[in-house]
Amino acid sequence: MSKSFQDSLQPQAVCELADIMQVVMRVGVLMLQAGTVSFRVEQAMQRVALGLGAERLDAYVTFTGITASVHRGNQHYTQIARVSSVGVDMNRVGAVEFLSLHLPADASPSKLMALLDKIEQIPAVYPLPLVLLAVAIACGAFALLQGGGLVEFVGAAVGAGVGQTVRVYLRSLKLNLVPTTVVCAAIATLLCYLVVQGFAMVGQPTTYAQYGYVSSVLFQVPGAPLVTAALDLIRFDLLSGISRITYALILIFSLAAGIITAGALVNFSIM
């Protein structure tokens, strides 16, 4: 029996590849969930696999899943992971990528798993109230940039702040993103409408209310998926890029549906 054939029968070697693959796949999933582009996910996975002793990693990363095979000698181990929840967390992306670039000298699958546990448990950089306030101010400021005034600023800020609060809560329940987007857009638009009507009742009418309505839902515009889709397409990661664009368009249409629903309920138009 040849040595290479004997090696292929060694269960210990296969177990080692399986341990390496568990770490490599977790690196990929964490980065993909955080909203980074496919090629960065592949690069980080490659660095970790080679750092743990693999000779080669073949990885195929899409917007919602990863298929990868790790190789050493004439042995290989393949695993598939599905990513069901995608968001934007550049702090996590940076932490995982830093780890992949600066692996410990005594790196092992168990040690890297522990480090990845710590990364996954890192709290948000900014407290939630501060994020909600920033979202409200940003959307209100956009109403001013469009040509609105104080009425539009307050309306958009109130709508966006409450809409984002509801969005965070619904996302924590792991509800489907499409109805979540529709509901939050409708709530933000309706609140902006009520604020505008309230100003009108106290003698501060406006003819630019549509600027406030549009600005109140901007917190749900999928900017990161559109940017990463462009980057994927430039690198000819066509499946991932097209998937990201499709995802972004679905959210944009859901956003529009929420605005239209709110308009139908109280009989106003954003045109």
The string of DSSP codes covering 84-130 is ------HHHHHHHHHHHHS--TT--HHHHHHHHHHHHTPPPSS-HHH
Instruction: State residue 185's pLDDT score.
Output: 95
Say how far apart CA 145 and CA 156 lie, in whole Å.
12
Taking residue 115's Cβ as centre, other Cβ atoms within 10 Å add up to 16
Q: Which two tokens stand for residue 164?
A: 């984002």
In tens, the pLDDT along 41-84 reads: 999 999 999 999 899 999 999 888 999 999 988 888 999 999 88
Instruction: State residue 265's pLDDT score.
Output: 87
In tens, the pLDDT along 100-122 reads: 999 988 888 999 999 999 999 98
**What averages of pLDDT result for each successive group of 10 residues across the chain (271 residues)?**
46 75 94 92 94 91 91 89 86 94 89 93 90 95 91 94 95 90 95 91 83 92 91 90 93 94 81 64
* pTM greater than 0.85: no
Say how far apart CA 112 and CA 184 lie, in whole Å.
39
How far is C-alpha 131 from the geometric centre of its chain's CA atoms?
A: 16
Instruction: State residue 4's pLDDT score.
Output: 47
Secondary structure (DSSP) of 42-58:
HHHHHHHHHHTT-SEEE
